[in-house]
C-alpha cells in the first residue's frame, strides 16, 4: 500500500495564496461542524507498488504558466519516493493529439466559490449524460458554496448543483443546469494492465481553456493508498486504484485517464510527487467503479457512504478534540455571522452538548449527528455558553457548502 500525503488537484486562489489542494488554514471549515485541520507527515511502505523505470519517463504538454500579477498554484505536497521496477510500455494506438480531440468535448472545467473560506477553486469533470450530469472528485467541490462549469465541447458556461457525493471513494456527481446536447465520455469496459499506455487530460493550473495532455504508462493496478485532506483534518483509504506515470498538475483532479484507443479508463484523483531523481506516481479511480457510484447517486440511493444533495448547515466551526472543562461536547471556536447558530445566540467559546437530545461528544460527533438531518429541518440545540450558562433553542438548519 502506498501512503499518500495529500489528495491533489484543485487550485485555490485565496488571500493571495494558491494551493494545489484546498486551503490548509486551520479556520477554513465552517460549513457544518468540522474541526480545524492539523497536517501530519506520512511515509511510504517499502515495496508497496511498481512504478516506471527512468527509461519510461512520461511526456507532457507544458503546464500553463501564470501571468505576471496573478496568483500561482502551489505544487502538490511531497511524499517519499516510491520503489520503481522496470517496465516495457506499449505504444499508443492513437497519437495524444487525436486522443485529446476525441475526449475533450466530454470534459468540463469546474469552477467553485468557497464563500466561507474566501476562496476560488478549479478542477475538472467528465460529462456522463447529454443533459449535463458530470462526474468529478469529491475534493474538487468540497466546501463549495457556488459551482459552475464550462463545457470544452461547446464553450458554454453553466451553473451547477450537487446531486450527491461519496467522500469515502472521492467521488462526486453534479448537474449542469439547463444543459442539453452535450457529448459524453466513452468509458472502457476492458481490463487495464501494467504497461498499458495512458493519457491524462485535465484543467492544469485551473486556468481553463484547452485541457492539458500528459502521457504515461500504467505502473500497477488494484492499488491502495491513504489519502489525507489536511483542510478537513481527515484521511481516507482508497482501494483498487490505477497507478500511472502520467504526471498530474493542480487542477487535473476529476479529469479522465484515457487508454491508447481514446477510451476513459479512470478518473484522476491523487499523486505522489517525489524528489528530484525519482518518477511521479499518479492514481486514478477505475471508471467503472466511479460510474457505479454515480448511478446510485443519480437513482437517489443514499447509503452509509453516499450522501445526496447538500448537507445541513449549523454555521459553527469547532475545535479539535472532545469537550472542555471536563464536559463532553463540541467546543465552538467560531460562529458564522448571520448563520443559524448565530441567530440562536450560540457564541464562540460555547460547548454544544446535544442535538434533539442526542449527546454530542466531540466536533466530529456533532458533524455526524447533523448529517441525520436535511437543510430546513428544525432541531433543538443545547449548549453551555462561555459564562457556563446552559441554554437550548430551536434552530432551523440552513443549506451548507458541498462536503
Q: Is the dihedral of CA 320, 166, 9, 41 positive or negative?
A: positive
Q: For residue 253, indicate whether it is catalytic.
A: yes
Say how far apart CA 101 and CA 92 lie, in whole Å: 15
Q: Which grid cell sits at 188?
A: 472502457
Rounded to the nearest 5 degrees, what angle is found at the Cα of 283, between the Cα atoms of 308 and 83? 145
* Catalytic site residue from 109, 166, 170, 403: 170
C-alpha to C-alpha distance for 199 and 214, rounded to whole angstroms: 6
Q: Please tell me which residue in 100, 139, 229, 282 is annotated as part of the active site.
A: 139
Buried (b) or exposed (e) across 200-217, using 16+ Cβ within 10 A? bbbbbbbbeeebbbbbbb
DSSP per-residue string spanning 250-313? TT-TTPEEEETTS-EEEEEEEEEB--TTS--EEEEEEHHHHHHHHHHHHTT---SS-EESPPEE
DSSP 204-266: GGG--SSPEEEEEEEEEEEEEEEEEETTTTEEEEEEEEEEES----TT-TTPEEEETTS-EEE
Cα–Cα distance for residue pair 261/19, rounded to 1 Å? 33
Marked catalytic residue, from 253, 322, 350, 362: 253
DSSP line for 170-198: TEEEEEETT--S-----B--SPP-TT-EE
Place of cell 506516481: 281
CA 256 to chain centre: 15
In 3D space, the residue among 75, 52, 91 whose CA is nearest the CA of residue 6 turns out to be: 75
Q: In the 8-state DSSP scheme, what is residue 5?
A: S
Catalytic (active site) residue 249: no
Rounded CA-CA distance 326/319 in Å is: 15
Our answer to whether residue 180 is catalytic in this structure is no
Q: How far is CA 45 from the centre of its chain?
A: 24
Catalytic residues: 139, 170, 253
Amino acid at each position: 500500500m502506498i501512503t499518500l500525503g495529500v489528495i491533489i488537484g484543485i487550485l485555490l486562489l485565496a488571500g493571495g495564496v494558491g494551493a494545489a489542494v484546498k486551503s490548509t488554514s486551520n479556520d477554513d471549515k465552517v460549513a457544518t461542524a468540522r474541526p480545524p485541520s492539523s497536517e501530519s507527515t506520512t511515509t511510504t511502505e517499502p515495496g508497496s507498488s511498481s512504478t516506471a523505470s527512468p527509461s519510461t519517463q512520461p511526456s507532457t504538454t507544458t503546464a500553463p504558466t501564470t501571468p505576471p500579477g496573478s496568483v500561482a498554484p502551489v505544487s502538490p505536497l511531497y511524499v517519499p519516493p516510491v520503489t520503481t521496477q522496470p517496465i516495457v510500455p506499449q505504444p499508443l494506438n492513437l497519437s495524444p493529439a487525436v486522443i485529446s480531440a476525441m475526449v475533450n468535448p466530454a470534459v468540463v472545467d469546474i469552477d467553485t466559490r468557497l464563500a466561507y473560506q474566501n476562496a476560488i477553486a478549479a478542477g475538472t469533470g467528465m460529462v456522463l449524460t447529454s443533459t449535463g450530469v458530470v462526474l468529478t472528485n469529491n475534493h474538487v467541490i468540497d466546501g463549495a458554496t457556488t459551482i459552475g462549469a464550462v463545457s470544452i465541447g461547446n464553450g458554454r458556461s453553466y451553473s451547477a448543483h450537487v446531486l450527491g457525493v461519496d467522500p469515502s471513494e472521492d467521488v462526486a456527481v453534479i448537474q449542469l443546469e439547463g444543459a442539453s446536447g452535450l457529448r459524453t465520455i466513452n468509458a472502457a469496459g476492458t481490463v487495464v494492465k501494467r504497461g498499458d499506455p495512458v493519457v491524462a487530460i485535465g484543467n492544469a493550473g485551473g486556468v481553463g481553456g484547452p485541457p492539458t495532455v500528459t502521457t504515461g504508462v500504467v505502473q500497477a493496478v488494484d492499488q491502495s493508498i491513504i489519502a489525507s485532506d489536511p483542510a478537513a483534518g481527515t484521511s481516507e483509504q482508497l482501494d483498487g486504484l490505477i497507478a500511472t506515470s502520467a504526471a498530474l498538475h493542480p487542477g487535473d483532479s476529476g479529469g479522465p485517464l484515457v487508454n491508447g484507443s481514446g477510451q476513459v479508463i479512470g478518473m484522476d484523483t491523487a499523486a505522489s510527487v517525489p524528489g528530484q531523481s525519482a518518477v511521479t506516481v499518479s492514481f486514478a479511480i477505475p471508471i467503472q467503479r466511479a460510474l457505479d457510484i454515480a448511478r446510485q447517486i443519480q437513482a437517489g440511493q443514499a447509503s452509509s457512504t453516499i450522501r445526496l444533495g447538500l448537507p445541513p448547515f449549523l454555521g459553527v466551526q469547532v475545535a479539535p478534540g472532545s469537550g472542555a472543562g471536563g464536559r463532553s461536547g463540541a467546543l465552538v471556536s467560531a460562529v458564522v455571522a448571520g448563520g443559524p447558530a448565530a441567530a440562536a445566540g450560540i457564541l464562540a467559546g460555547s460547548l454544544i452538548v446535544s442535538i434533539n437530545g442526542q449527546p454530542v461528544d466531540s466536533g466530529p460527533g456533532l458533524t455526524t449527528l447533523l448529517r441525520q438531518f436535511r437543510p430546513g429541518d428544525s432541531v433543538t440545540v443545547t449548549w453551555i455558553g462561555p459564562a457556563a450558562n446552559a441554554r437550548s433553542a430551536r434552530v432551523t438548519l440552513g443549506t451548507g457548502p458541498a462536503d
